[in-house]
Amino acid sequence: MTRDFDLLIIGAGPAGMAAALAAAPSGARIGLIDDNPAPGGQIWRDGVLAQLPAIARHYREALAAAGNIQLFHSTRVVAIAGPHRLLLEDDTCAWCARYSKLILCTGARELLLPFPGWTLPGVTGAGGLQALIKGGVPVAGERLVIAGSGPLLLASAATAKKAGARLLRIVEQAPFAALSAFTLQLPRWPGKLLQAAQLFDRHYRSASFVLAALGNERLEGVRLSQGGKVVEMACERLACGFGLIPNTQLGQALECRLDGQAIAVDDWQACSRDGHYAAGECTGFGGSELALVEGAIAGHAAVGERAAARALWPRRRRWQAFAGQLGRHFALDARLKQLANADTLVCRCEDVAYAEVAGRSGWVDAKLHSRCGMGACQGRICGGATRFLFDWPAPTPRPPFSPTRIDSLAQLAEAAEDAPLP
């Protein structure tokens, strides 16, 4: 089965939702693809304990009211099935989407760095902990340490405290001077200043980072470097996130140029490949405000409404400036590259230890000597880690882009025979 779209949008987070709604008044046939059960992305993630902000509800209601937007939830991109065609899979079947224009709003994922004990039950990502709590995982009464870098630590701590967790420490690797400089800039974005004031917690410590998770069968405690001193504390949960890295896999597969770790775009949010656009955190992390305005610009530009897109440029510049402050002041300390021991797992899917890949020249060399990056996550976790640890280039994506049913893959050859969209 093949469905045709004037505009196909991959990702229904803030950027994807904004892109669809900006393009909708044109009357274009719009398809919005997302692998979650409901639109909102990770920041507006649904769940039994999730409390969606008013702006998220507004965007959902607007999507539902737009008659020319088709939302396909719980749907994943499996492979590229030819020019301007993607093979998709949902919970029941695989099908092909054929498009004239494409907007990538694939978001970002947490950077997880290996350290002794990081694979113990009870250790998660900082954003991962938020998702678990929103999904109904109980944390009431559990002692919690949150470590890593960036504003997500405070947001994760607030979610956990509201769910009844006993917060022991928020461990931020950035030094106090960098955090102070960042705070002094926040009055330029009053809403962010208010948000920071509301989220700040007395357990917050700067110039500190995790050294090891302690325990045998599951997490029992954590060892920290705190202001130059080593401290240990007992806990049942440890959530670590060292910032975000853009999800560029599909963009790379489509041969869109990268700018550092993100998809490169021009003023119109257009990629290097004609007819393809990108918006949101796949083009660089800057928060939901930047994602919303980038998505709107991409949506307008994709349907030829350049005046409407240009009118949003000043708002984008405002939030790009905020993103720049985040990148400068929360830059990762080089000491984090030394956390892993020789036997610390780097690729947890395939049980590949640090010593097995430390001397390799890149992904191909590592795969020839181990199974690093060849497990279920296809390098999504160890790919970001090894890029930070060893300065390897991003791994080249190969289909299928996610674990897929055999009958879905069988449709690739059939899809390639379809005629291109006129």
User: Of 196, 219, 242, which one is at a domain's C-terminal end?
Assistant: 242
Domain assignment present for 400 = no
Is the domain of 103 the same as that of 249? yes
Whether residue 412 is predicted with pLDDT greater than 80 in this model: the reply is no
Is the domain of 190 the same as that of 219? yes
pLDDT in tens, 191-230: 999 999 999 999 999 999 999 999 999 999 999 999 899 9
CATH number, domain of 125, equals: 3.50.50.60
Is the domain of 102 the same as that of 32? yes
Q: How confident is the model at residue 394 (pLDDT cuts 50, 70, 90)?
A: confident
Domain assignment present for 405 = no
Domain assignment present for 89 = yes
Domain assignment present for 91 = yes
* Residue 41 DSSP code: T
Whether residue 416 is predicted with pLDDT greater than 70 in this model: the reply is no
Burial 70-81 (b: 16+ CB within 10 A, else e): ebbeebbbbbbb
User: Of 207, 227, 242, which one is at a domain's C-terminal end?
Assistant: 242
- pLDDT (average), residues 339-352: 95
Is the domain of 261 the same as that of 280? yes
pLDDT score for 402: 83
The answer, yes or no, to whether the previous bond of 400 is cis (omega within 30 of 0) is yes
Measured CA to CA, the distance from residue 109 to residue 106 in angstroms comes to: 10
Domain assignment present for 404 = no
Q: Considering its fold, how many domains does the chain have in total?
A: 3
Is the domain of 149 the same as that of 231? yes
Is the domain of 237 the same as that of 122? yes
pLDDT score for 262: 96
pLDDT score for 352: 95
> Among 42-46, 77-81, 145-149, where is mean pLDDT lowest?
42-46
Is the domain of 134 the same as that of 230? yes
pLDDT in tens, 257-315: 999 999 999 999 999 999 999 999 999 999 999 999 999 999 999 999 999 999 999 99
Average predicted confidence (pLDDT) for the chain: 93
Domain assignment present for 135 = yes
Is the domain of 194 the same as that of 86? no
pLDDT score for 170: 98
Domain assignment present for 333 = no
Domain carrying residue 382: 340-390
pLDDT in tens, 398-409: 888 888 888 888
User: Of 271, 297, 326, which one is at a domain's C-terminal end?
Assistant: 326
Measured CA to CA, the distance from residue 116 to residue 367 in angstroms comes to: 23
Is the domain of 256 the same as that of 167? no
